[in-house]
Amino acid sequence: MQQGTVRWSDLSLSQGMKLLPEGKGKDALRSNCMVCHGFQNVMASIPRNENGWRDRINYMRKAMWWQLPRFDDDKADGVVSYLSHMFGNDPTAPRSPADVPGYKDTVRSFSEEAMGIAYVEYDVSGSKGLALERYS
């Protein structure tokens, strides 16, 4: 099997929090924005430039204001710059989490034995098959 490129949007939230580089804005992102959703679908899979991020963050601040009481302008600026760096078009950002040191340690793997799943097919045609009995 050929290995594809690992994308940021492929990660679990806990992998993301370990592998996303430290930087201004990361803490505010983690503690304010991850309450309702992760970063994978709404952030990592749609790259935006700085204006685009600011626009979406303003939208969240308006629509989700009750969950963002301590998310002030300073934190918003930090998150805008963090997201523009990571999920914008900054060539210095790690494209793939697999390029970040420590990536391998975050990947769960299972033994050969655990992966050895046996599938069995039963032919149930011509019988009542798996139809549920009525109990009444």
Which residues does 38 contact at the CB level (< 8 Å), separation at least 6?
Answer: 13, 16
Q: Does residue 13 belong to the site contacting ligand HEC (CB under 6 A)?
A: no
* Single residue of 14, 21, 35, 45 touching ligand HEC by CB under 6 A: 35
Site track 37-56 with ligand HEC (rule: CB under 6 A), x = hit? x----xx------------x
Among the candidate windows 36-44, 92-100, 112-120, 123-131, which touches ligand HEC by CB under 6 A?
36-44
- Scan residues 73-112 and list those touching ligand HEC (CB under 6 A): 79
CA dihedral 38, 86, 54, 34 (to 10 degrees): 20
Q: Does residue 30 belong to the site contacting ligand HEC (CB under 6 A)?
A: no
Q: What is the DSSP string of 70-135?
A: T--HHHHHHHHHHHHHHTSS-TTS-SSGGGSTTHHHH-----HHHH---------TTS-TTPPPP-
Cα 54 from chain centre: 20
Give the residue with the Cβ less far from ligand HEC, 18 or 30.
30
Give the residue with the Cβ less far from ligand HEC, 6 or 79.
79
The residues that touch ligand HEC, with contacts defined as CB under 6 A, are 32-33, 35-37, 42-43, 56-57, 60, 64, 67-68, 71, 79
